[in-house]
Structure 1
């Protein structure tokens, strides 16, 4: 239970450091917080190899989702060295989020539709919060287009990540996550 709460709260702390830093034009708070968080999660993980694979897949998803959003002009990221690419602080957020998929966000793997709905509806709220509370993200008018683009991208990406997580946990000699059906 301690690992669950450390995983959940640690990820939220990474998010706060990332968006607060990005709103001021800084990359380092996100990179430092994500490095410490990811390191601590990998040291205590019962699924280290899977967590690393999920992190690499999450970084690929970040490039697809956030680079598409940036290149479309519907979303602009603060502290972005290249306007068309996801900034390092966004990549740090995706990498940190991947660490939650076998622990605090494992519930997403219980039903195939859950990650799609979660990604479509809830992920854009994090971007809106980063925009309104910290000026880390800006949406071009009309804002709904950027929000929808991110929601669809996250819906697909989170579905893929959860599928990979379920598949990785069901490999030879592995038990499925608690609460998931085989």
Structure 2
């Protein structure tokens, strides 16, 4: 396990960015499997409380995947194979994203207003970026961006609250 908090955060950030890019460029089961391997690498190298963080990752991945599932189910977001629920590669991204909440994005916890301001912009931007790389499609871009903004305005602060309330040992 790496002792330096700065190095842990840098590794966490790089692992997430790598998993996101891999899953978006090559959406499928193989990319999701690699993302989950990167989660395990994170838990071994970066996490200070791996068992607890694993539980947090699972809880947040389920929640995030349910929200994305709504977008797929309602047709707000689609993919090349016509998924009716959250594709497995997007579940892999959620799992890796959850690692950032106790590490490279943990600083947001200390500034209660920032998640409310940044989440409705950064969340939709990530999905829009994925659409530009062909991983997802928005039949109605305006509707999708509004729905994603509302979803991220809700889910991101909720995930931060869950981490703080139920997993305080993950505080950086």
Smaller-chain TM-score bracket: 0.7 to 0.9
Secondary structure class of the residue paired with 1:55: helix
Q: How does 1:47-62 map to 2 (within 5 A)?
A: 47-62=49-64
Shift of 1:87: 0.3
Match of 1:160 among 158, 161, 164: 158
- Where relative contact order (Cα < 8 A, 6+ residues apart) is larger, the structure is 2
Question: Any unmatched runs of 5+ in structure 1?
Answer: none
- Give the SS at the match of 1:137: coil
How many pairs are equivalent? 166
Conserved? CA contact 2:124–2:145, under 8 Å: yes
Return the TM-score normalized by structure 1.
0.83
Contact 2:65 / 2:94 at 8 angstroms: preserved in 1?
A: no
Change (3 A) 1:47 1:146: same
- Cα distance 1:169–1:64, how it changes in 2: closer, same or farther (>3 A)? closer
Tell me the distance in 1 between the aligned counterparts of 2:89 and 2:150: 21
Query: What is the match of residue 106 of structure 1?
Result: 106
Instruction: Identify the residue that residue 89 of structure 1 maps to in structure 2.
Output: 89
Q: Which runs of 5+ in 2 are unaligned?
A: 1-5
| Cα distance in 2 between the residues matched to 1:35 and 1:71 | 24
1:27–1:79 CA contact under 8 A, matched in 2: no
CA distance in 1, matches of 2:154, 2:56: 15
1:115-134 paired onto structure 2 within 5 Å = 115-132=115-132, 134=133
Report the TM-score, using the length of structure 2 for normalisation: 0.87
Residue of structure 2 equivalent to 1:140: 139
Specify the SS of the correspondent of 1:36: helix
Taking a change above 3 Å as real, the CA distance of residues 50 and 161 of structure 1, as seen in their structure-2 partners, is: farther
